[in-house]
Amino acid sequence: MSQERLLELWRPLHDLRMTRAVLEWDQETMMPPGGAAARARALATLAGEVHARLVDDALHEAALRARDAAEEGSVEHAQALVALRDVERARRVPARLARELAEATSAGLVSWQAARKESDFARFAPDLERIVRLKEEEAQAVADGGRPYDALLDEYEPGTREADLVPLFERIRAELSPRIRAVAESGVVVDESPAQGQFPEAHQRALGLAASRAIGFDHDAGRLDLAAHPFCTSFSPRDVRITWRFQEDDFRPALYGILHESGHGLYEQGLPLEWEGQPLGEAAGLGIHESQSRLWENAVGRSRGFLRWLAVPWREAFGAPMPDVEELWPALHTCRPSLIRVEADESTYDLHVLVRFELERRLFSGELATADLPAAWNGAYEEVLGLRPANDAEGVLQDIHWAMGAFGYFPTYTLGNLMAAQLFAAAGAELGDLEAAFAAGEFAPLREWLREKVHRHGRRWRSAELVERASGRPLTPDDHLARLAEQVETVYGVTVGGATG
Ligand code: ZN
């Protein structure tokens, strides 16, 4: 009975969130520029409505009753705990603070866009300062005596703590930083011309769709549309939207972007239908979500087996033979430091995340003032990646996250990389020769393994627990770092760092 009351109150909350997601998807894919003001208003109204329902006493009471009535360890108990977690987190934030944060981030997004265009941090600085101050206040309220930065991390990947991330990032840095220096000194330059040419939009779409369908993304329960920044959003496991963008002279951004978003989409389509609209019927966290996209994009999509399979759809899409797999492979595994995170290769990506993680920690410990961010950013890039941004647009202003108030989000990208490698290694150990399966177009065994180990559990277990149950080991950077070491050794003949024996 008490469980029913909780689900009855949760359903409209879910429907409102879903409606908001539909409007956001439309905003990024279809909406004409003239719609911006009306859409912003509608989204703000919906956000207010969602918040009001989430903090409503009736829902809180229903969740408490459901928890007390359910047997510990049961699904009903898990439903109630997950609901309570969301409700209590929202209830700790005073209405005044929630409103101020919404205002500050909407102003911040506008000034960030203008500042990035003119490469002038000063235009964004006052809004960012206000956002950081309000996020500090929010973090203190939510942390309830715990560490404020942990409260921020917890929003994106429940259970993540700064103290656990620090040694992970230390290891990543100790291994990757010397390696990229050694790669630069090796003088080896990868020939990327096999990935370049003239690839018309319609042909690239055809190739992306073929790959997306092959790995099992169900296009009767999803869509692929163009957007400025690729993303995945879900309205139901039976209606998952993914987006893509393309570059005419290089097939990589479109194909690997579509594989990435299809990986996110497979997770959403694999969530249990019987939990749709219920507290457990969502992804466990953003880190594990990212693991699903990275796994299909990198571990599968850049493998020799996958490339062997790709030759046929390639010929069908482009009407020409695909370059030789051995020529293509190095162009998919470069190690070249760059300034822009979203363009970074696998071997340098985590260092971009590390810079942001360290700056966020310093901001929220009071060690770093917002005004000093650009200098700190540039110094960190020089130290970690060996490159110094020439201006703020290619430095501290490149990401939208801080303008949205999304502090604690970046680490989920690296957590996703680690989880992807660990899950992929575990799947390989159980399923046998995956490369041979991919070459034969057999992606279902891996997909079903992920459904079984990750997707079908929704929010029943935390991400770290899902990974540990699936792989038999706690989360470790070992598999990810081994993968990167092997790539660099193969492509550049460099073995520095990663001498793990
Ligand atoms: Zn992603």
Looking at 104, 120, 146, which one is the last position of a domain? 146
Measured distance CA(25)–CA(2) in Å, rounded: 35
Nearest residue to 291 (alpha-carbon basis) of 453, 488, 497:
453
Among 146, 177, 200, residue at a domain's last position = 146
290 C-alpha to center of ligand 1: Å?
5
Q: Which residues, 6 or more positions from 417, have their beta carbon under 8 angstroms from its beta carbon?
A: 290, 291, 294, 346, 349, 350, 480
Residues 233 and 121 in one domain: no
Structural domain boundaries enclosing 457: 164-500
The answer to whether residue 410 is domain-embedded is yes
Quote the ligand 1 centre to 422 CA distance (angstroms). 17
Q: How far apart are CA 170 and CA 182, in angstroms?
A: 19
* 261 given a catalytic annotation: yes
- Do 19 and 139 fall into the same domain? yes
Q: pLDDT exceeding 70 applies to what percent of the chain?
A: 99
325 in the same domain as 184:
yes
Give the CATH number, domain containing residue 429: 1.10.1370.30
In this prediction, residue 500 has a pLDDT band, given cuts at 50, 70 and 90, of very low
Q: Rounded to the nearest whole angstrom, what is the distance from the C-alpha of residue 68 to the centroid of ligand 1?
A: 37
Q: pLDDT tens digit string along 350-400?
A: 999 999 999 999 999 999 999 999 999 999 999 999 999 999 999 999 999
C-beta separation of 401 from 155 below 8 A: no
496 Cα to the center of ligand 1, angstroms: 29
One domain, residues 127 and 218: no
Residue 301, in any domain of the structure: yes
In a domain, residue 126? The reply is yes
Instruction: Please tell me the distance from the alpha carbon of residue 171 to that of residue 498, in angstroms, as a whole number.
Output: 10
Residue 434 has pLDDT above 90, yes or no: yes
Q: Residue 202: how many CB atoms within 10 A of its CB?
A: 9
Residues 253 and 107 in one domain: no
Tell me: pLDDT of 501 over 60. no
For residues 15 and 21, what is the distance between their CA atoms, to the nearest angstrom? 10
Whether residues 115 and 234 fall in one domain? no
- What 3-state DSSP class applies to 198? coil
Mark whether 142 and 186 lie in a shared domain: no
Q: In 3-state terms, what secondary structure has residue 116?
A: helix
| Domain contains 154 | no
- Specify if 155 maps to a domain: no
The pLDDT score that the predictor gives to residue 1 is 63
Tokens linked to 472: 């038999």
pLDDT of residue 2: 83
Between the CA of 346 and the centroid of ligand 1 the distance, in Å, is 13
pLDDT at 144: 84
Is 420 contained in some domain? yes
Asked if 23 and 108 sit in the same domain, the reply is yes
Distance 109 CA to ligand 1 centre (A): 21
Q: Output the CA 350–ligand 1 centroid distance in Å.
A: 14
The pair of three-digit structure tokens given for residue 102, joined into one six-digit string: 């919404």
Q: Is residue 153 part of a domain?
A: no
Indicate whether 446 pLDDT > 60: yes
pLDDT mean across residues, the chain: 96
Q: Is residue 444 part of a domain?
A: yes
Is residue 415 domain-shared with residue 312, that is, in the same domain?
Answer: yes
CA–centroid distance, 260 to ligand 1, in Å, is 6
What's the 411 CA to ligand 1 centre distance in angstroms? 12
Q: How far is the CA of 274 from the centre of ligand 1 (A)?
A: 25
**Same domain for 221 and 129?**
no
pTM of the entire predicted model:
0.96
pLDDT in tens, 470-486: 999 999 999 999 999 99
Per-residue pLDDT at 267 exceeds 90 = yes
Of residues 500 and 326, more confidence is placed in 326
Q: What pLDDT is attached to residue 499?
A: 47
231 CA → ligand 1 middle, Å:
7
Q: Which of 146, 178, 212 is the C-terminal boundary of a domain?
A: 146
**Lookup: tokens for 473:** 């080991």
Distance CA 499, CA 335 (A): 18
Surrounding ion ligand 1 within 5 Å at CB are 290, 293
Cα 360 to Cα 357: distance, rounded to the nearest angstrom: 5
Cβ proximity of 183 and 492 under 8 Å: yes
Percentage of the chain lying above the pLDDT 90 cut: 95
Domain total of the chain: 2
Same-domain pairing of 240 and 378: yes
Residue ranges in 30-120 assigned as alpha helix (H): 36-54, 57-69, 75-91, 95-118
The answer to whether residues 319 and 420 belong to one domain is: yes
* pLDDT tens-digit readout, 329-361: 999 999 999 999 999 999 999 999 999 999 999
- In three-state secondary structure terms, 451 is helix
Average pLDDT over residues 202-219: 98
**Alpha-carbon distance 212 to 16, whole Å?**
29
The catalytic position among 261, 268, 282, 360 is 261
